[in-house]
């Protein structure tokens, strides 16, 4: 399997090859035993009770300064999606359903949409980091490019995903040195991991795409019409 030029922490935290069969989050790999002189990783925090999750969820889903959104941040309805750039279902949503939501609700000031990263493998994590290292106005256009060209950079037949991602980054104005610096920046990894950790621990996010509409998980059908029904119900309150 092939590693991208990411931080050691990211390579250890995520799988090292693209996930394709479905879109559930992979089971974490066992942590390697620390070498002599190394410190063992801190133990995972205890699992939250249902009551603790319910109390923490509004804070996790609240719009943050680090979020990049579409629409009016003061809109009545807030939509938060956890997505993996290598997830085919996420690509379908981004390229087919989200444009309709944008026309009907985001551009009209009725709803505000935020995409948060939940990469399901090392290669998707590398792609997500590039998107976050670009200027904010290039984030969603680059995510659309990643979704449109998944078969180029995130296919089982892709021989060099690192090279393919760097080509896409170059087209967005980010040279190879900037991509390498982005991947090796521990702060970028820390933010990515924290987003995933709190989504999994508090919101029970374990597959992508996972959407929340005003704090309520949108189960099942993620078509425009199904989501529009839920959004309209929130607008009517």
pLDDT at 38: 52
Question: What is the rounded end-to-end Cα distance, in angstroms, of the chain?
Answer: 51
Size (the chain), residues: 237
Give the integer Cα–Cα distance in Å for 116 and 66. Answer: 10
pTM: 0.85
Q: Write the CA distances from 237 to 77, 218, 231, 234, integer angstroms.
A: 10, 17, 10, 5
For the chain, the domains span 8-16+51-235
pLDDT at 116: 98
Give the integer Cα–Cα distance in Å for 176 and 169. Answer: 8
How does pLDDT run along the chain (237 residues), one tens digit per residue? 344 555 544 454 444 344 443 456 554 444 444 455 555 556 677 899 999 999 999 999 999 999 999 999 999 999 999 999 999 999 999 999 999 999 999 999 999 999 999 999 999 999 999 999 999 999 999 999 999 999 999 999 999 999 999 999 999 999 999 999 999 998 998 999 999 999 999 999 999 999 999 999 998 899 999 999 999 999 999
Give the integer Cα–Cα distance in Å for 93 and 218. Answer: 13
Q: Where are the beta strands (DSSP E) in 66-157?
A: 69-71, 77-83, 111-117
Please provide residue 55's backbone torsions phi and psi, each rounded to the nearest 5 degrees.
Answer: -70, -35
pLDDT at 42: 63
pLDDT at 161: 94
pLDDT at 154: 96
pLDDT at 45: 77
| Superfamily of chain region 8-16+51-235 | Glutaredoxin (3.40.30.10)
Token pair of 38, please?
A: 């190394």
Please provide residue 116's backbone torsions phi and psi, each rounded to the nearest 5 degrees.
Answer: -115, 145
Q: Please identify which residue in the block is written with the tokens 């995520």.
A: 14
Contact 91, 152 (CB under 8 A): no
pLDDT at 214: 97
């Amino acid at each position: 399997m092939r590693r991208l030029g990411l931080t050691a922490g990211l390579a250890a935290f995520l799988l090292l090859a693209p996930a394709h069969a479905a879109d559930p989050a992979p089971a974490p790999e066992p942590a390697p035993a620390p070498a002599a002189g190394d410190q063992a990783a801190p133990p995972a925090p205890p699992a939250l009770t249902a009551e603790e999750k319910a109390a923490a969820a509004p804070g996790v889903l609240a719009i943050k300064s680090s979020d990049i959104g579409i629409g009016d941040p003061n809109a009545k309805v807030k939509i938060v999606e956890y997505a993996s750039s290598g997830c085919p279902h996420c690509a379908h949503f981004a390229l087919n359903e989200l444009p309709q939501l944008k026309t009907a609700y985001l551009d009209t000031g009725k709803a505000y949409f935020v995409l948060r990263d939940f990469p399901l493998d090392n290669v998707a994590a590398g792609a997500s980091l590039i998107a976050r290292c670009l200027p904010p106005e290039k984030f969603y256009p680059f995510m659309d490019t990643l979704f449109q060209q998944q078969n180029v950079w995130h296919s089982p037949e892709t021989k060099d995903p690192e090279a393919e991602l760097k080509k896409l980054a170059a087209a967005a104005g980010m040279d190879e040195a900037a991509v390498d610096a982005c991947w090796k920046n521990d702060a970028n990894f820390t933010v990515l991991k924290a987003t995933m950790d709190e989504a999994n621990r508090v919101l029970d996010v374990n597959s992508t795409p996972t959407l929340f509409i005003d704090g309520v998980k949108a189960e099942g059908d993620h078509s425009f019409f199904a989501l529009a029904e839920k959004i309209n119900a929130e607008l009517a309150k």
